[in-house]
């Protein structure tokens, strides 16, 4: 991984494959990344389904000289090995060379009922093994229409208080913008990213490193405008990370931002 200091200055572009991928397609995609010029100002990561993480990590080492970080989409809330059938621990993710772990993606909350308490346990497990958690927060359309978006985000961010880390990475992903093609306006993004920045300082202290990514229908056409918004330190990209062309274009936009 890049040096600690450098990565907290870079723009982060993390692809979230969700439940997509096949061995052969993944390999083909990794090989396409070989031609991508080195971009010093951008940290690139790919969050693959757990079964493909080792394949990805090996490909990063062998084909890509570690230019792309390996990210996991989730982790167990249980800290230790044991009788938890189907679970994958933070220690296992560290063992196979994972760098970053998404926590609390809205699809985990929507389909698996994960809320603050479970997310906090997962954050602690990830930090305890030296990996970087990327906490996802976002309001529903109903909450935004009721003018409650800041209240909702403040509640989701409250789990950051008292964590044993000086490095905080958050992805703001309005639920109504994920996979819908509806992007938040740059004014909405600016207001929320400014708010999140302030909240993190008040919860974690003024001396923390902070990255705040935007997520929600980011694509090759809108990325440059989003990266130009104050306090946007990168993007969490779903659908558009599945194709080399669109993901590379977003990385390019981050580099030029």
Q: Is 9 helix (H, G, I), strand (E, B) or coil?
A: coil
The least distance separating ligand PEP from the CB of residue 152, rounded to whole angstroms, comes to 17
Helices 53-62, 23-33: crossing angle, 10 deg rounding? 30
The least distance separating ligand PEP from the CB of residue 236, rounded to whole angstroms, comes to 5
The continuous run of DSSP H or E covering 14 comes out as strand 11-16
The least distance separating ligand PEP from the CB of residue 70, rounded to whole angstroms, comes to 17
88 DSSP β-pair partners: none
The least distance separating ligand PEP from the CB of residue 21, rounded to whole angstroms, comes to 14
CA distance 75 to 89: 6
- Footprint of ligand PEP (CB under 6 A): 16, 18, 173, 178-179, 215-218, 236-240
Cβ atoms of 208 and 4 closer than 8 Å: no
Q: Given 107, 114, 149, 173, which residue is catalytic?
A: 173
Residue 58 or 188 having the CB closest to ligand PEP: 188
The least distance separating ligand PEP from the CB of residue 13, rounded to whole angstroms, comes to 12
CA distance 91 to 100: 12
Residue 31 or 182 having the CB closest to ligand PEP: 182
Residue 121 or 136 having the CB closest to ligand PEP: 136
Verify whether residue 105 is a known catalytic residue: yes
Q: Given 105, 107, 143, 199, which residue is catalytic?
A: 105
Backbone angles phi, psi at 61, to 5 degrees: -70, -45
Residue among 100, 33, 40 at smallest CA distance from 64 = 33
Strand spans (E) along 51-208: 68-72, 100-103, 132-137, 167-172
Burial class (CB in 10 A: 0-12, 13-18, 19+), 38: exposed
By beta carbon distance, the residue nearest ligand PEP is 238
Residue 43 or 204 having the CB closest to ligand PEP: 43
Where in the sequence numbering do the catalytic residues fall?
105, 173
């Amino acid at each position: 991984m890049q040096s600690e200091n450098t990565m907290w200055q870079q723009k982060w572009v993390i692809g979230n494959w969700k439940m997509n991928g096949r061995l052969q397609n993944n390999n083909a995609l990794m090989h396409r990344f070989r031609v991508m010029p080195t971009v010093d100002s951008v940290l690139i990561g790919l969050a693959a389904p757990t079964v493909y993480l080792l394949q990805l990590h090996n490909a990063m080492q062998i084909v890509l000289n570690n230019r792309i970080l390996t990210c996991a989409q989730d982790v167990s809330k249980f800290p230790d090995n044991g009788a938890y059938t189907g679970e994958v621990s933070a220690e296992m993710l560290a063992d196979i060379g994972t760098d970053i772990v998404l926590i609390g993606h809205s699809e985990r909350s929507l389909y698996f009922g994960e809320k603050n308490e479970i997310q906090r346990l997962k954050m602690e497990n990830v930090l305890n093994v030296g990996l970087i958690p990327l906490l996802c927060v976002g309001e529903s359309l109903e909450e935004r229409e009721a003018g409650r978006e800041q209240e909702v985000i403040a509640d989701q961010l409250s789990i950051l208080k008292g964590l044993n880390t000086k490095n905080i990475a958050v992805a703001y992903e309005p639920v109504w913008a994920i996979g819908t093609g509806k992007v938040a306006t740059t004014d909405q993004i600016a207001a929320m990213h400014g708010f999140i920045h302030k909240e993190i300082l008040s919860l974690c202290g003024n001396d923390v490193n902070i990255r705040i990514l935007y997520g929600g229908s980011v694509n090759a056409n809108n990325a440059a405008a989003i990266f130009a918004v104050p306090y946007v330190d990168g993007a969490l990209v779903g659908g558009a990370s599945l194709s080399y062309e669109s993901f590379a274009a977003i990385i390019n936009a981050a580099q030029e931002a």
